[in-house]
Amino acid sequence: MNPSQRIVFIGAGHMAEALARALLSAGAAAASDLFVTDVAPTRITHFRTRYGIAGSDDNADAARTADILVLAVKPQNMAEVCQGLAGALARDPLVLSIAAGVPTARIEAWLGDSPRVVRAMPNTPALVGAGVTAIAPGRRATPADLNRADRLLSASGAVVRVEEKDLDAVTAVSGSGPAYVFYLAEAMREAATRLGLALNVADLLVRHTILGAGQLLEADEDASPEELRCRVTSKGGTTEAAMAILEAREVRTALIEAVQAAAARARKLSESG
Ligand SMILES: NC(=O)c1ccc[n+]([C@@H]2O[C@H](COP(=O)([O-])OP(=O)(O)OC[C@H]3O[C@@H](n4cnc5c(N)ncnc54)[C@H](OP(=O)(O)O)[C@@H]3O)[C@@H](O)[C@H]2O)c1
């Protein structure tokens, strides 16, 4: 990331904090390159005291100074926020929206002045630098804009480029995805305590099993998830007994249907928002 670029976050919430922190810890930006705005004074104070990042409650004034303008408010606040920024994009910044389900065409129309918009779908592991973000260009975004968005977001994890039409599927898979894994963790923890393990033991076993499995998936890129599963499933063994129940209860089908339902909901929200 070019350190002289000024990155302004509109909305200083959880995701803005995750990205700002990732940029600082990766050395991709200095605190003086970053600026935040928020309606809540406590958030401005938090960014200043915790990270040395300045901020204000004046979105338009901050946007005028931006080379990269990150829209990080809730989707329901996007119309009002973008309309308030119309005419304030003095430096023709790259506009990077992380708002779920808000199409670039709508953002372009609200902002006016034909802005260059890139839409991103991050996920919460960005909070620990282990996120994955899909990015898609709007009508006027250039390949150089996509590269800039990619560099900025890679501070918080992996980045993949897709077409905007695929973002509803991305939302269902990786945006909501951490919740599916946490659900698995909840069930495994409950099973462990029912088997008589103390809660602290159950908790440690489950957290580290999921972490370790994730690291194996990442480290052994040549092996498919199915191959990795088969390696721990010997004939007549314990894992096979467990898998038989999961298959009989059609857990795989339920998961596929769950992700499809999330994608359908994402599509509906994008259309209606
Ligand atoms: N969290 C996730 O897992 C996740 C994943 C992917 C994408 N996203 C997207 O990231 C965006 C931000 O999510 P988040 O979880 O960081 O939300 P958040 O914590 O609620 O942050 C949004 C911040 O914007 C502030 N705000 C509201 N109206 C504003 C305005 N007019 N001007 C300036 N600031 C304003 C909010 O203040 P108040 O709270 O006082 O209203 C809040 O501090 C959302 O669009 C979401 O779709 C989130």
CATH (domain of 252): 1.10.3730.10
Cβ of residue 12 lying under 6 Å from some atom of ligand 1: yes
- Cα 257 to middle of ligand 1, angstroms: 28
Domain count, the chain: 2
Assess if residue 172 is contained within a domain. no
Q: Say if residues 96 and 42 touch (Cβ distance below 8 Å).
A: no
Q: Would you say 145 and 137 are in contact if contact means Cβ atoms under 8 Å apart?
A: yes
Residue 38 CB–ligand 1 contact under 6 Å: yes
Domain boundary among 164, 198, 222: 164
Looking at residue 2, its pLDDT comes to 56
Residue 153 and residue 186 in one domain: no
Return the amino acid letter for 189. R
pLDDT tens-digit readout, 108-126: 999 998 899 999 999 999 9
123 lines ligand 1 (CB under 6 A): yes
8 Å CB contact between 17 and 149: no
* pLDDT given for residue 1 in this prediction: 56
In the listed set 113, 136, 164, which residue is the last one of a domain according to the structure? 164
Look at the pTM and tell me if it is higher than 0.85: yes
Q: How far apart are CA 66 and CA 90, in angstroms?
A: 8
Instruction: Find the distance separating the first CA and the last CA of the chain, reported in whole Å.
Output: 33
Considering the domain architecture, whether residues 190 and 159 belong to the same structural domain is answered as no
Are 27 and 153 within one domain?
A: yes
Residue 170 belongs to some domain of the structure = no
In this structure, the number of other CB atoms found within 10 A of the CB of residue 149 comes to 26
Residues 144 and 217 placed together within one structural domain of the fold: no
* Distance, CA of 50 to CA of 41 (rounded, Å): 14
Distance 160 CA to ligand 1 centre (A): 22
Residue 111 and residue 185 share a domain: no
What is the domain extent for residue 212? Answer: 177-270
Question: Does 171 fall in a domain?
Answer: no
Are 160 and 182 found together in one domain?
Answer: no
Backbone angles phi, psi at 138, to 5 degrees: -80, -175
Q: Which of 17, 44, 73, 119 is the best mutation target for the ligand 1 pocket, counting ligand atoms within 8 Å of the beta carbon and taking the most?
A: 73
Question: Are 132 and 184 within one domain?
Answer: no
Q: How far apart are CA 189 and CA 203, in angstroms?
A: 6
CATH at 49: 3.40.50.720
What separation in Å is there between the alpha carbon of 261 and the centre of ligand 1?
Answer: 24
d(CA 102, CA 85): 16
Per-residue pLDDT of the chain (273 residues; tens, 9 = 90+): 555 799 999 999 999 999 999 999 989 999 999 999 999 999 999 999 999 999 999 999 999 999 999 999 999 999 999 999 998 988 899 999 999 889 999 999 999 988 999 999 999 999 888 999 999 999 999 999 999 999 999 999 999 999 999 999 999 999 999 999 999 999 999 999 999 999 999 999 999 999 999 999 999 889 999 999 999 999 999 999 999 999 999 999 999 999 999 999 999 888 875
| Domain-ending residue, one of 164, 196, 226 | 164
203 and 159 co-located in one domain: no
232-273 confidence digits (pLDDT tens): 999 999 999 999 999 999 999 999 999 999 999 999 888 875
The answer to whether residues 106 and 222 belong to one domain is no
Per-residue H/E/C for 123-158? CHHHHHCCEEEEEEECCCCCHHHHHHHHHHHHHHEE
Rg (Cα) of the chain, in Å, rounded? 21
Does residue 213 share a domain with residue 182? yes
Both tokens assigned to 48? 């200043």
Phi, psi of 113 (to 5 degrees): 60, 25
Residue 2: inside a domain, yes or no? no
pLDDT value of residue 168: 94
| CA pair distance 118, 107, nearest whole angstrom | 10
